[in-house]
């Protein structure tokens, strides 16, 4: 393969010239064995089976910083502009390539939040390792009695002088059993109002005081865990942001989570690696089901509208480190697009989209069914659709707090 040295994007360079050089670099460095196999490869990454050409591709992407293209070069990122990053993504898609680290919580949530709120030491300690794909992160938010009403959380972190002592439980902590670090919201001042007195800690998962228990789902996968903290510890410099102001940090992380979602890539879509139109044509649904192609086109337009709104929100938020309320709109629109796509995928497959196991069904067909089931959780995780609607109503539309009781 060609030398993996990074083709730098100069300030004065046109996007067309950058696209040409990015295309050349991808052609010389992306392993041919992985072309068109993004779904299988990403599943291997989820299972920690990273070796061979997949490991080589991840290393090459890390060397350029292009796995996190817009992150600062000083911390292992690509240092690209948003426009350059979009050009790179299009060049990769055209070549049948993919970003091997695009879906980790370190890349989509914790890394950007550490860049927003972290000290220089925290950035230099954590960001390069995330950019190279060397560590896994999970997010410790929900608790058995603090789900959508997250501010009711009770897991405590006590100041012991030279460290924090952590006790409590988190639930639905995705990938906790495989994670090296956890970004957790904890209560540091029990006497304060519930939205105050919360702090954000960066916690090392490799310690005796932390136990994880996977939760098996109807889809057959077990991405979620119960996580128990019993006298777990974190150094005093593990505090991200200000003491007792972790609620703002936590909201900013959710903003990054929802900003990472797009109409075409959100979970639950089904038929990974093939467009919905291609799936419909492969199974003859466009001709057999009246009006089906109209529904497919409507979903594609909704996905495009979601993507454009996302780009606009990111542009408006650039340079503003404070959390906003626009992510609530994007969370619900991403959910609607993904769930509609999953339903249409199964409808396109007909009887082939009704299987659970067995030889009569292809791997992609079984994957689509399980993806459809998993996608149902989108209405709940990351804040339920009802909670997002309340936020939209009160914080964006300015509707009154109470709508009943004659007030």
E strand or H helix at 201, and its extent?
strand 198-204
Percent of the chain with pLDDT over 70: 84
Confidence of residue 14 (pLDDT cuts 50, 70, 90): confident
Q: Using CA atoms, how far apart are residues 20 and 58, in angstroms rounded to an integer?
A: 21
- For the domain 261-396, what is the CATH code? 1.20.140.10
- Average pLDDT on 353-361 reads 85
Q: How many residues does the chain have?
A: 407
Q: For residue 213, what are the β-bridge partners? A: 226
pLDDT at 39: 60
What is the reported pTM?
Answer: 0.77
pLDDT band with cut points at 50, 70 and 90 for residue 123: very high
- Predicted confidence at residue 26, as pLDDT, reads 95
Cα–Cα distance, 103 to 234 (Å, whole number): 26
- CA of 229: how far to CAs of 167, 172, 200, 210, 346, in Å? 5, 14, 15, 5, 41
Segments making up each domain of the chain, as ranges: 15-102, 137-245, 261-396
Tokens read off for 299: 């979903």
Spatial separation of the C-alpha atoms in residues 256 and 292, rounded to whole Å: 34
**How many whole angstroms from its chain centre is CA 149?**
21
pLDDT-wise least confident of 34-38, 81-85, 242-246, 301-305: 34-38
Asked if residue 178 lies in contact with residue 48, where contact means CB atoms within 8 angstroms, the answer is yes
Across 27-31, 77-81, 267-271, 288-292, least confident range: 267-271
Residues 69 and 73: their CA atoms lie apart, in Å, by 9
Mutual angle of helices 292-317 and 326-349, in 10-degree steps:
160
Q: Which CATH class is domain 137-245?
A: mainly beta
Do 41 and 98 form a contact (C-beta atoms < 8 A)? yes
- For 45-54, how does the pLDDT look when each residue is reduced to its tens digit (9 = 90+)? 555 567 788 8
- In Å, how far from its chain's centre is CA 113? 13
HSE (side-chain half, CA atoms, 13 Å) at 114: 33
Q: Measure the CA–CA gap between 375 and 340, rounded to whole angstroms.
A: 10
Known catalytic membership, residue 316: no
Q: Which of 257, 295, 365, 367 is catalytic?
A: 257
Q: How far apart are alpha carbons 149 and 400 in whole angstroms? A: 19
Read off the tokens for 63. 């060397």
Q: Using one digit for the tens of pLDDT, what is the confidence trace for 254-306?
A: 878 766 654 334 333 344 456 788 888 888 887 777 888 899 999 999 988 88
What pLDDT was estimated at residue 355?
Answer: 87
């Amino acid at each position: 393969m060609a030398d993996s040295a990074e083709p730098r994007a100069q300030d004065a360079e046109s996007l067309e010239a950058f696209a040409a050089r990015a295309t050349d670099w991808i052609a010389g460095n992306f392993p041919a064995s992985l072309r068109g196999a993004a779904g299988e490869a990403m599943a291997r990454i989820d299972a920690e089976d990273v070796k061979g050409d997949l490991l080589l591709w991840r290393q090459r992407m890390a060397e350029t910083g292009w796995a996190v293209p817009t992150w600062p070069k000083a911390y292992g990122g690509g240092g690209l502009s948003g426009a350059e990053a979009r050009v790179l993504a299009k060049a990769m898609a055209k070549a049948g390539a993919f970003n091997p680290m695009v879906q980790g919580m370190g890349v989509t949530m914790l890394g950007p939040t550490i860049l927003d709120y972290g000290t220089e030491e925290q950035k230099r300690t954590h960001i390069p390792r995330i950019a190279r794909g060397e560590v896994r992160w999970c997010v410790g938010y929900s608790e058995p009695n603090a789900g959508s009403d997250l501010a009711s959380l009770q897991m405590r972190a006590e100041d012991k002088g030279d460290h924090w002592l952590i006790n409590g439980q988190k639930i639905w902590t995705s990938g906790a059993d495989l994670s090296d670090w956890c970004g957790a919201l904890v209560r540091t001042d029990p006497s304060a109002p519930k939205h105050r007195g919360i702090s954000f800690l960066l916690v090392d998962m490799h310690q005796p005081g932390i136990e994880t228990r996977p939760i098996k789902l109807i889809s057959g996968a077990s991405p979620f865990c119960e996580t128990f903290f019993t006298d777990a510890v974190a150094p005093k410099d593990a505090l991200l942001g200000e003491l007792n102001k972790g609620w703002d940090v936590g909201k900013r992380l959710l903003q990054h989570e929802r900003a990472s979602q797009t109409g075409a890539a959100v979970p639950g879509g089904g038929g990974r690696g093939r467009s919905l139109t291609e799936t419909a044509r492969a199974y003859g649904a466009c001709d057999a089901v009246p009006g089906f192609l109209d529904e497919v086109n409507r979903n594609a337009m909704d996905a495009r509208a979601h993507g454009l709104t996302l780009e606009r929100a990111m542009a408006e938020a650039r340079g503003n480190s404070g959390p906003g309320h626009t992510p609530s709109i994007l969370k619900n629109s991403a959910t609607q697009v993904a769930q509609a796509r999953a339903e249409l995928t199964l409808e396109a497959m007909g009887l082939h989209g009704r299987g659970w196991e067995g030889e009569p069904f292809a791997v992609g067909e079984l994957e689509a069914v399980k993806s459809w089931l998993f996608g149902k959780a989108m209405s709940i995780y990351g804040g339920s659709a009802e909670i997002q609607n309340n936020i939209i109503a009160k914080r964006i539309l300015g509707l009154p707090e109470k709508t009943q009781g004659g007030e």
